[in-house]
Structure 1
C-alpha cells in the first residue's frame, strides 16, 4: 500500500473514532429519566410526574390504581359503558384495549390527568397505542372537547379508558381511511407519566 493510501486510511479511521466518541459522549451525557414499573392493583402516586406539561397537569396528590385490562370489541366496550355502538366502524373487531382504573385526588384543587396523552407501549416496544378518542367521548360525553380528568379535591373516580391502534392501507391502494390494527395480546405497559419519572404499569392481556 502506498504512503498516500496509508494516510487516507488513517484519516478515515481517526474520523470514525471521533464520530463514535462523540455519539458515546452525547448518549452518556443525555439526561437519564428513571423508570418505575408497577403492577395491576398497585396504587401509583404521581407526585407531580406528568405526561406532557408539568405546570398545567400539576399531578401532586393524584394517584392511579389499574384494576384490570382486557382486549374487547368497540361494541363490548360501549355496552359495558351503557352506550349503543351505532355508527362505530368495525364494531365487532377485537382491537380495543380497555383499561379500568381508579383515580384519586387528595388535596389538589388545580391538577388533572391528561387522558388523551396516556399511551400503551405494545409488547414489542414498536408502537405507542393511543387513547381511542371517539370511543372515549361516546362513553364519557361530559369530557368531549376537553379530554382531561379533573377531580374535585379529596375525591375518586373509576373509569375505563379505551386504547386502539389505527393503520393505513397499502401504498398505491385507494385510500379508504384508517383501519383497526388487531391488538397484540401479551405483555404491554401503560404509560402514566413521562417526566421527571416515567411511571409504567405492566399489563398482561
Structure 2
C-alpha cells in the first residue's frame, strides 16, 4: 500500500492519525478528511490505494459509497468500520469492501482511528522508518514503565478513552490521567498517537 485516506468527523481524531503518520515517517502517504464529500473529491484528484471510513461517515449506504470510491479507481481497497447489521455487512461485502471492522455504537471515530493507526503501523515505509531509529534510545524506557502503565498504554492502543480505561482497570479517571502523563514522559512523547507508535516500535505492546 502506498497512499491512504481516512474519514474522521472529529478534529481530535484527525490530529491523532496525522501525528501518528508523521511520527512513523509516512505523513505524506496519509490524508485525513472531515466528510464524505471531501474524501471523494480528494480521491478523485489523487486516487488512493486505501480508503478507511466509518459507515455513518460514508453515508450509511456502503454500496453507494464503495461504488463512488471505485468509480475513481477500481483498485482502491475500502475498509469500513461501524456497528454492522448482518444485512448491512452483506451489502458492504457485495459492494466490494475489502474489510469490515465491527464495533459498538457511540464512538465511530475512535474505532476508525484505531483501525487506521494499526494500518499506519504496518506501512512498509513505517517499518523502515522505525528500523532506522537506534534501539539503544528506547531500551532504558522499557524498564521504567510499570505494569500498570503498560496496561494503560495497551488500552490506549485499542482506542479506549480515559473513562473506558478507568472502568476496565478499576481506577479513577484522574489516576488514569496520571499514569498517562508519566508514561508519556518516560517514552519522550506528547500524546497518545506518539505513545502508541513508540510502544509498537519498541515492542512494549504488540
Larger Rg: 1
TM-score normalized by the length of structure 1: 0.25
Greater helix content: 2
* Structure that is richer in strand per residue: 1
